[in-house]
Amino acid sequence: MPILTGPFGRVAAAMVTPFDEAGELDIEGARRLAVRLVDEGGCDALVLSGTTGESPTTSDEEKSALVRAVVAEVGDRARIVAGVGSSDTRRTVALARDAEACGADGLLVVTPYYSRPTQEAVVHHLRTVADATGLPMMLYDIPGRTGTALTTATLLRLAAHPRIRGVKDCAYDLLKSSRVMAETGLAYYAGCDEFALPLRAIGGAGCVSTVANVAAPLVRGVLDAYDAGDRASAARRHRALAPLTEAVMTGQPGTVAVKALLNARGLPAGPVRGPLLDADAGLTARLLELLACAEARAEAEARTADGAAVPAPEPAVGAGAAAMPGGIP
């Protein structure tokens, strides 16, 4: 059964932006993390300077330097998508053109935030950005952060633009997603980790995953099992990853959680920038326990697939934000 890959890959990590101890951009760390995510984690795309990449607190110059470094390091074997969205159309166009000049393969453009433009204004903004470069563009629909959703009608209009090719879907609206996928050629990517499998099951192209920063093989394993036709294994893998996903994505921004895990394992990450605050020791310990448990369950599932029944460990009571049901039997 062939694996269908969308214009922005299938398993994309929403990569953190590593900083050094002084809070400055760690270019060497970004290179090392990109190599790990692609060569060891199996990601076929990296999304830079998104929400997880702390785009609100990185300068335009830092965004450009990050794209150049990651393209040079892994651009021959992964698609590099640059987050260029802002609430200013002129600045977004400038960032898009710069990302293209730096070698990005695609653009992630969020709906303008704070000013709450009308849908007509949103269409004008996004078409203007799409017209500014020759790169394919992924719309970022995340109304919980921007205050402005992309309506179904707006998405149907935007789909007519030849360079608007996909949607990073964080709208929590499967009815909208289903209709747009049915009526357009837009490639849909789950931007919320818990929706990676459900969206793939109704025709989604893949995911843009925060959890992949620390568990890329596990994130990919869910989609690999589904695409191989093993729906039961995909469901078990999805449920096994759910407690970690919940702990990473609730209670604090995902960036805070995955940077804590990367730092604890000696991998490039560094501190978060204000107004975010770094995770404390207690949160980090709980996250590490859940990550280890998810990894053990994935290993147990792999052995089960090979014909050897192996019991999977359970997370300790109170290890996560609120342990979710399910998991590998």
| Residues labelled catalytic | 140, 168
Check the annotation: does 310 bind a ligand.
no
Q: Which long-range contacts (CB under 8 A, 24 or more apart) does 170-173 make?
A: 170/140, 170/141, 170/142, 170/144, 170/145, 171/141, 171/142, 171/143, 172/144, 173/149
Any residues with CB less than 8 A from the CB of 65 and at least 6 apart, and which?
Answer: 25, 27
Phi, psi of 295 (to 5 degrees): -65, -40
Q: Does the annotation list 208 as a binding residue?
A: yes
Phi, psi of 4 (to 5 degrees): -85, 125
Judged by DSSP in three states, 94 sits in: helix
Residue pair 135/104 in contact by the 8 Å Cβ criterion? yes
DSSP output for 124-183 = HHHHHHHHHSSS-EEEEE-HHHHS----HHHHHHHTTSTTEEEEEE-S--HHHHHHHHHH
Burial environment of residue 204 by CB neighbours within 10 A (0 to 12, 13 to 18, 19 or more): buried
Q: Which residues are annotated as a binding site for pyruvate?
A: 52, 208
